[in-house]
Structure 1
Amino acid sequence: MHKQTQVFLSIISLLGFSALAQEAITDTIKKNNPTHLDEVVVTGQIESQSLRRSIQNVRVITRKDIDQLAANNLGDVLNQYINITVMPSGTTGRSTVSMFGLDALYFKILIDNIPIVNEAGLGNNIDLSQINLNDVERIEIIEGSMGVTHGANAVSGILNIITKKSSRNEWEIKTTVQEETVNTEYGLFKEGRHIQALQLGHTINENWYVSVNANRNDFQGYLGNKQGQDYSVNDGLRGYNWLPKEQFMTNALVSYQKNDFRLFYRFEMMDEKVDYYNSQVQTLFNTDLGSYRASDDNRYFTDRFYHHLNGTGKLFSQLNYNVSVSHQKQQREVESFIYRIWQDQEVNNLKEKDQSMEVLYSTGTLSNFFKSKTANLQIGYELVNNNGFSVVQEAGSTFTGIRKRIENYDAFASSEINLSDRFSVRPGFRYSFQSQFDNQYAASLGFRQLLSHDIQVRGSVGKSFRTPTFEELYQKMIFPGHYFSGNENLTPETSISYEISARKTHYFPSGLMMSNNLVVSYMDIKDRITTALTGFTPDNVPMYEAINISKYNMWNVSTTNQIQYKNLNVSLGATLVGVSQLIDSGDLRSNDEYLYSLNLNTSVSYKVPKWSTTFAAYYKYNGKAREYQSDGNEYVLTTVQATNWLDASVAKSFLKNKALNVQLGARNLLDITNVTRTGNTQTGSHAASTNVMLAYGRSYYLKLVYNLNF
């Protein structure tokens, strides 16, 4: 047994002994602050319960938080989250998440507890800009290993988006128009960001509720020092620094509820178009046009549909069941063409499917086996059928489509045992039958200790696994002088993580509330997948292949603090992360020293009821980030300079019943664009510096929302 596990179990034993010796908690705080303590969470729970009694350390982003940020997609929200770094790319149009130095392959994103598909996987490596927030009620985040309840790839944490499924009003109609500059670039049709949304909700009767949502997000790209589509000089300035992107998203919901039975069906569809303009301009000739300027351009089309049917209720008047069935598909097509710049003409258009993933998914649980408040048992299953497709570049620069099916069938069990009113433990286990790999398992043990003065102590230890992605298994890029290949013989990565946290909430007679939370965590990942040198071709070209060779260790100390007093809300967070990575590419090997990063965030909001106005500001400090990168000869320790992010807004309501809301705000007030990455070799010599494109600078927005409820 790991020494860390033995220490962890000893802590649980001591806290359990202390809990049995203490008196029951009084209900004074609950009477004085019912809203705060009755906030219900569902992610990672056996049954829905208050945040205070949850054994998992759940963090909630409310609808109010989303609105104050004027967030249209998930990336707009998470950019201010303390332990999450949003990684945008102007060259691909994608935004992904990084947590504790681990990329999006280790973090799982779900909608109503169902992992979301993308063209290369399920639940992981999600493009945050493709997740619309129109019908979102709240977002729940749990950091650390969640392999027992959520299966493969829930290594660094999970994010669960809870959608709206009922309303107190008979009709709800909401229209939104949002206009936003992109740095200094703005025009009604040619530049900037233009968002329109329509939401309709209808409570038919006490049992039935339906809703429909539609959203258009038109991002016209960011030129910066580039000259756009019609620039015809071959000096590298044609195109955009951030690619133009247009998205259409719609979803619909039908919900039925009667007594203990609830059934809902949710459908979602997304269409996205990203335009790529090549910076290289050619001079060509034909008999009709003579000499003309042209460039090889592309368009990327991404489509997604999502079906989710969920039913919850009781069996035999006691057992609680929760069953979901989902069918999802996302695919990307690439249209290549020659653009004749002077003639504004496209020729030789060719549209082909590049990647796709189609998933049949089902999960279900049974709980409440015992008529007792002391113990609860949950058993469940998860069935996943992934049908993936990707175009790969074989030897001889030939392109071939590869289609593979990957399946897993999982069974899991989790129990919550209340040893006293103050102390609960939760063991869990999952076994996964894999079609592509050896069978895997996940295990966890968590506890919650409620001390006097409303001090809450939580802890967990969990073992999880990450399965290789479709690209890591099957991708190939083989052309003269280059040989990069996936590996069908890869094995899943395994991890173990530990977390302990303490929360204290103070309530004062004046109405002031102060909440403080401290979390310490540690993670160890083995058999990490790395692209490494595995040999040479007969032509002496280095062959790079994905293999299980590297390792990763992380420890983290973070604190979040909140103050509420009447109409004032202040939060402050800080996290210190240390990461040790051994990257071994076969011919090169990095240093595995611990590299540290400090991040801070704070937010302030103040509501003036007399004016129906709310002022809000959000600040985040991303400390220096260091990591080893290969320069071809050795691993270089690179440093990305610290950045400061500041957003601010003011929102005011007008008309009767505050039907019209006007919000004026600014993102990235400190005007962050590119930051410098410098490097030093492992022998201490200086390497060249480069620029990392993080954002497109300061932007302003105006958002108008009209609500008609009756």
Structure 2
Amino acid sequence: MKIKLLLFTVLSCYISFAQQKDTIVSREKLSEVVVTGQFEPQSIKKSVFNVRVISKEDIKQLAANNLSDVLNQYLNITVKNSGSDGRSTVSMFGLDSQYFKILVDNIPLVSDTGMGTNVDLTQVNLDDVERIEIIEGSMGVTHGANAVSGILNIITKKGAGHKWEINATVQEETVGNEYSLSDKGRHIQAAKLAHNFNENWFVNIGGNRNDFDGFYDNKKGKDYSVNDGLRGYSWLPKEQLVGNAMLGYHKNNFRIFYKFDYYGENVDFYSPILVPEDNYPFPETYFARDKRYITNRYYHHLNANGKLFSQLNYNVSLSHQKQERDAELFNYQMETKQEFNNFRFTYQSKEVLYSTGTLSNFFNSKKVDFQLGYEITNENGFYSGSAGTFLDNALQSVDVRKRLENYDIFSVAEINLSDKFSIRPGLRYSIQSTFKDQYASSLGLRYLFKKGLEARASLGKSYRTPNFDELYTYFVDSNHNLQGNPDLVPENSTSYEVSFKRTCSFDSGAQIANNLAVTFMDVDDRIDMVLTQTKPTSLYKYININKYKMWNISTTEQYAYKNWNVKVGAALVGVSRKIDLAALELTSDDKFLYSLNLNSSISYNIPKWNTLFALYYKYNGKQQQFEAGTDTDGSAKFFLNEIKPYSWMDASVRKLFFKNQFEITLGARNLFDIKNVQITQNGGGSTGGAHGSGSSDLLLGYGRSYFLKLTYNLNFN
């Protein structure tokens, strides 16, 4: 009913626009320039892709420190949190983070299992971000493997508006109802400096520290010495350090910059189990077997763009990224509060050399443009057998070192048949070192109707390559049998999207913007970890076996009048998964399961007070999925799991003082105090258990939290 009401609103708006000829003027938002998937930076209206933009002002209003803080409010995206390891990943259209690519200035960000995919959102700092651009649907032609459900491109700030720009920030935040200056809450400090040496040279330098002291909830922390299982944290404590620098030069049509980023993270795990030690004749003492996860990531990016032979536009990037993840095992003496028997080892590392480049403007024509590009990826991965999931057939720990390479060429044409109608075909061919060579193709259409109505349609074929874990995991003992599969082949997907967009202005100053999109996606040879054997032990293995279909209808309405800005969105997603366990002669139901998402935001600006009030709301409807498991008699069976609906609301007020030099943001996250959401298992547990219905809880958040952010800006020439 809510979807019908929103669609009626959109259609009514279009009809009313058509009837009013004298009082409405179409407005092109030339100030909103996008770069993702474009031949060159251009207005969002001219883009054949349906690009969504999260502005720097949105990021400021949410007091967002990382991507997780922002994407919680985005339609069609679900943020999945894990308190056990502190990670947050993204899911779009029911597909997990392996299908969604995250880039920084068009360079895929290295992660544990790939390039740009499965990225921990909490590890992506937003201090140096100018805006975020999101394109939903297949982007395999321009962005290669794994850009199946969409891409997110973080555009960083380059240069400064003044000769000197100095910025310092302090942010204090509660974690639920827990806070203290020393060992509870979240404490953030950041500083940035930008300087234009002259009209050609500039430099940006910044640093950030995010100290998250964990969420106790019903736990008692690391120094709790009673052996009742309450030691530790519900959300693990972690400290993040970020450093970045950029040096750039531009003159006439030539631009070049070098960007360096460092990311460091420590995550502490404190065991709830205390081990007694004999201390005769005194009372026995206790210690705990704890561990620490340490991440270090280095990012280098060199980019040059300009003109060749006074006509051809070129844009070339070279990137080197290295990420190492260490584990430090140690014993913690409860009486002395000292660590001993520390043992540190690298259990995962990834080093990637990446380059991409394009040539365009071959014809120097506004009617026809052609882009030719390449992409080279050299990815060296290492996993240590000490992590426990890489064993040989004799059950001995083994180290796994593998190199994955691809060499891609792609071409895109943009044909403007008229000022209103544009066609954009594209093709990519990828030479793979590990898999059969792959290709991606796309066709985009854009038509500008009268009175500012924009229509877009796209067809895209893309692919996802298996990740390191899916290929090489081998973990078999008396209790586990989980195996990767080196014979996996890439998944193939087809995506269709049709969208309509309109922005109109009234003489009164009011502005209304509408965006309606319909998407369908089909994924073949989908890789899943499936149950292939139940006796004598359960055997799980990664196999190309499943099919996945999704359709989505979404709409966003934005209303602006004087100091008010209201935005309302809705999306209905239907997902069909066919899981075929041929070895067990068992196939899941492939009917479509539906989920409704709603989001909205409202802001009010008081210019006299230099103050902006904002409220953000998102409703996540119930999510259903068939899962394979074992019944009470040990036979394989599919169960329907259902995640109950929940809502998320954030609020903030931001005020500027002293000619915008001093800024205060005060607000709250998760106003509905969400911590867990119930998962019901109809017909039995997903991994076996009692016959009938069962339930469990999914950890989503740490409850309602409050924040205060203080920023000082000093700009001068």
TM over 0.5: yes
Per the TM alignment, residue 685 of structure 1 is displaced from its structure 2 partner at its CA by 7.2
Does the aligned pair in 1 maintain the 2:112–2:119 contact within 8 Å? Answer: no
Alignment counterpart, residue 495 of structure 1, candidates 493, 496, 521: 493
Letter in 1 for 2:543: I
Per-residue CA deviation, residues 53-81 of structure 1 (Å, 9 max, x unaligned), is 10000000000000000000011011100
Letter in 2 for 1:468: P
1:21 corresponding residue in structure 2: none
Per the TM alignment, residue 628 of structure 1 is displaced from its structure 2 partner at its CA by 1.7
Per the TM alignment, residue 481 of structure 1 is displaced from its structure 2 partner at its CA by 2.9
Letter in 2 for 1:459: A
**Residues of 2 paired with 1:282 and 1:66: CA distance?**
46
**Residues of 2 paired with 1:542 and 1:288: CA distance?**
48
Per-residue CA deviation, residues 249-284 of structure 1 (Å, 9 max, x unaligned), is 000000110000000000000110000111222223
2:634 corresponding residue in structure 1: none
After TM superposition, the score normalised by the length of structure 1 is 0.93
2:401 corresponding residue in structure 1: 403
Alignment counterpart, residue 698 of structure 1, candidates 681, 697, 704: 704
2:326 corresponding residue in structure 1: 333
Does the aligned pair in 2 maintain the 1:111–1:161 contact within 8 Å? Answer: yes
Letter in 1 for 2:678: T
1:512 aligns with 2:515: no
Alignment counterpart, residue 639 of structure 1, candidates 625, 642, 665: 642
**Residues of 2 paired with 1:100 and 1:176: CA distance?**
36
1:84 aligns with 2:77: yes
User: May I ask how many residue pairs the two structures share in their alignment?
Assistant: 679
Closer/same/farther in 2, CA of residues 193 and 288 from structure 1, 3 Å limit:
farther
**Residues of 2 paired with 1:58 and 1:226: CA distance?**
44
Q: Which runs of 5+ in 1 are unaligned?
A: 1-24
1:572 aligns with 2:554: no
2:670 corresponding residue in structure 1: 668
1:598 aligns with 2:596: yes
Per the TM alignment, residue 233 of structure 1 is displaced from its structure 2 partner at its CA by 2.6
Per the TM alignment, residue 532 of structure 1 is displaced from its structure 2 partner at its CA by 2.7
**Residues of 1 paired with 2:571 and 2:469: CA distance?**
33
Per the TM alignment, residue 37 of structure 1 is displaced from its structure 2 partner at its CA by 3.1
1:687 corresponding residue in structure 2: 693
Per the TM alignment, residue 487 of structure 1 is displaced from its structure 2 partner at its CA by 1.0
1:102 aligns with 2:95: yes
1:215 corresponding residue in structure 2: 208
Letter in 2 for 1:566: K
1:425 corresponding residue in structure 2: 423
Letter in 2 for 1:434: Q
How much identity, in percent, do the aligned residues show? 57
- The CA RMSD over aligned residues, in Å, is 1.9
**Residues of 1 paired with 2:250 and 2:668: CA distance?**
42
1:300 aligns with 2:293: yes
- Counterpart of 1:189 in 2: which secondary structure? coil
Closer/same/farther in 2, CA of residues 467 and 286 from structure 1, 3 Å limit:
farther
Q: Which runs of 5+ in 2 are unaligned?
A: 1-20, 385-389, 632-636
2:11 corresponding residue in structure 1: none
1:168 aligns with 2:164: no
**Residues of 2 paired with 1:622 and 1:156: CA distance?**
19
Does the aligned pair in 1 maintain the 2:39–2:360 contact within 8 Å? Answer: yes
**Residues of 2 paired with 1:396 and 1:65: CA distance?**
54
**Residues of 2 paired with 1:498 and 1:296: CA distance?**
52
2:387 corresponding residue in structure 1: none
Per-residue CA deviation, residues 278-318 of structure 1 (Å, 9 max, x unaligned), is 12222233679862212211100000000000000000000
Per-residue CA deviation, residues 640-677 of structure 1 (Å, 9 max, x unaligned), is 1111111101111112x221111110001111111111
**Residues of 1 paired with 2:326 and 2:161: CA distance?**
42
Does the aligned pair in 1 maintain the 2:25–2:504 contact within 8 Å? Answer: no
**Residues of 2 paired with 1:244 and 1:108: CA distance?**
27
Closer/same/farther in 2, CA of residues 339 and 168 from structure 1, 3 Å limit:
same
Closer/same/farther in 2, CA of residues 75 and 203 from structure 1, 3 Å limit:
same
1:563 aligns with 2:566: no
Closer/same/farther in 2, CA of residues 658 and 371 from structure 1, 3 Å limit:
closer
Which residues of 2 match residues 652-667 of structure 1 at below 5 A?
A: 652-655=655-658, 657-667=659-669
1:198 aligns with 2:198: no
Per the TM alignment, residue 501 of structure 1 is displaced from its structure 2 partner at its CA by 0.4
Deviates most, 663-672 or 228-237: 228-237
Per the TM alignment, residue 46 of structure 1 is displaced from its structure 2 partner at its CA by 1.6
2:176 corresponding residue in structure 1: 183
2:468 corresponding residue in structure 1: 470
1:366 aligns with 2:366: no
Alignment counterpart, residue 542 of structure 2, candidates 541, 546, 553: 546
Does the aligned pair in 2 maintain the 1:105–1:124 contact within 8 Å? Answer: yes
Deviates most, 471-480 or 294-303: 471-480
Per the TM alignment, residue 196 of structure 1 is displaced from its structure 2 partner at its CA by 0.3
Does the aligned pair in 1 maintain the 2:553–2:572 contact within 8 Å? Answer: yes
Per the TM alignment, residue 397 of structure 1 is displaced from its structure 2 partner at its CA by 4.6
1:247 corresponding residue in structure 2: 240
Per the TM alignment, residue 121 of structure 1 is displaced from its structure 2 partner at its CA by 1.4
1:356 aligns with 2:362: no
Per the TM alignment, residue 192 of structure 1 is displaced from its structure 2 partner at its CA by 0.1
Alignment counterpart, residue 62 of structure 1, candidates 55, 64, 81: 55
- Counterpart of 1:549 in 2: which secondary structure? strand
- Counterpart of 2:471 in 1: which secondary structure? helix
Letter in 2 for 1:251: N
1:677 corresponding residue in structure 2: 679
**Residues of 2 paired with 1:346 and 1:581: CA distance?**
48
Alignment counterpart, residue 528 of structure 1, candidates 526, 543, 547: 526
Does the aligned pair in 2 maintain the 1:120–1:356 contact within 8 Å? Answer: no
- Counterpart of 1:152 in 2: which secondary structure? coil
Per-residue CA deviation, residues 518-542 of structure 1 (Å, 9 max, x unaligned), is 00000000101112344689xx444
Letter in 1 for 2:643: V
